[in-house]
Amino acid sequence: MHGNRHDWIRVWVLACVLLAGLLPAGAIALPVATVQQQAAVAKARIDAMESQLSATMSDFSAAQDQLAATRADIAQNRTQLKALSASIKSGQSRLSAEAVFLYRTDGNGFAEALLSAGSFAEFADRLFALSRIAVQDATTVERLKHDRAEAAKLSAQLATREQQQAAQLARVAAKRSAARSALNGQQAYANSLSAQVAAALQAAQNTESDAKSTPKPVSSAPKSGVVWATVTGRGGRYAVLSGAPTSYSPTGVTFDGEATWYGNVRPNMGTSSGRPFDENEFTCAHKSLPFGTRIAVTFRGRRVIVTVTDRGPYGRGRVIDLTKRAAAVIGLKSAGVGQVHCEVVRPN
């Protein structure tokens, strides 16, 4: 009897072990208080990550602006240098022609022109014309001196700006890498949360959005048509709403993962940015990118550019939530969930 009891205990323990191995991670329900506490800790950590990423993206944007200004200066310097080079070449050609003329006439060309005059009036006219040529030659020489000095100055400025550009390119690359690391770190942390904690975190975020904004009712009808935009150096065309910029520059800050979509699930629904939610706009929810950031989203070869106005999603592997209309444009609405490629872009 005693031995049978031990056998039953062994069987029960073995069954528990096997059952635990079969259950998915996080399947064991946690007490509500524990879930709420873990969600509060997760929210505080994600908020801190959001602040860090926002600062990193600001630094990255500032570095890009400095690089753009330097490139504009370089282009202007090159244009000015090209114009000066053309002026120098023209002046040199004129003086060379004068030198050839004097060489061929042995210096007597001007004297012969004066002495062959048929009258005093003609002599005076030729003398005046020759004096003007001499003045023009002197002016050409002075302009050549000035242009050469300016060309040397511009060449030095150009060399300096090109050195600055090289340093700024390295700085932009470092800032881009920091932004990617911050994004990846946050996504990895969000993926590590259990389904219960992620759901509680999403609910807390929704509650915070409602408390922050008092949105006005929005129309369910589309407000504007879809037009096409381009991203420099990227193939294909990107859907945007009419009135939005149609030319963008890539930043190189990219991320991949699952995307979902959401619509007006409750009356007067708001967003974390305080902006009223409209499922017919091309907007999205992201965990940390600064509000107003534009993201080019690619799904199965179809592309749309959306603006960050909300926070989320916090489900495992989810990286972005698109509005109903934006999802429909790229075919994600019918799919429900899909793997997407995203890149932060900036209007030109």
pLDDT tens digits, 99-117: 666 555 555 665 666 566 6
- Asked if the model's pLDDT at residue 8 lies above 70, the reply is no
Report the CATH number of the 51-181 domain. Answer: 1.10.287
Q: Give CA–CA dist 38/35, Å, rounded.
A: 5
Which range is least confidently modeled, 124-138, 199-213, 255-269? 124-138
Burial of 292 (0-12, 13-18, 19+ CB in 10 A): exposed
The per-residue pLDDT for range 38-66, each reduced to its tens digit, is: 989 998 998 899 899 999 999 999 999 99
Q: Give CA–CA dist 119/130, Å, rounded.
A: 16
Q: What does the pLDDT read at residue 143?
A: 81
The per-residue pLDDT for range 212-253, each reduced to its tens digit, is: 665 555 555 566 799 999 999 999 999 999 999 999 999 999
Q: What does the pLDDT read at residue 160?
A: 94
Whole-number Cα distances in Å, 182 to 47, 311, 344 = 12, 16, 14
> Please, which residues have CB within 8 angstroms of residue 306's CB and are 6 or more apart in sequence?
282, 283, 284, 294, 295, 297, 322, 323, 326
The per-residue pLDDT for range 188-197, each reduced to its tens digit, is: 998 898 988 9
The CATH architecture annotation of domain 215-347 reads Beta Barrel (2.40)
Could you state, in order of their start, the residue ranges of all structural domains in the chain? 51-181, 215-347
Q: What does the pLDDT read at residue 234?
A: 94
CB 44 within 8 A of CB 189: no
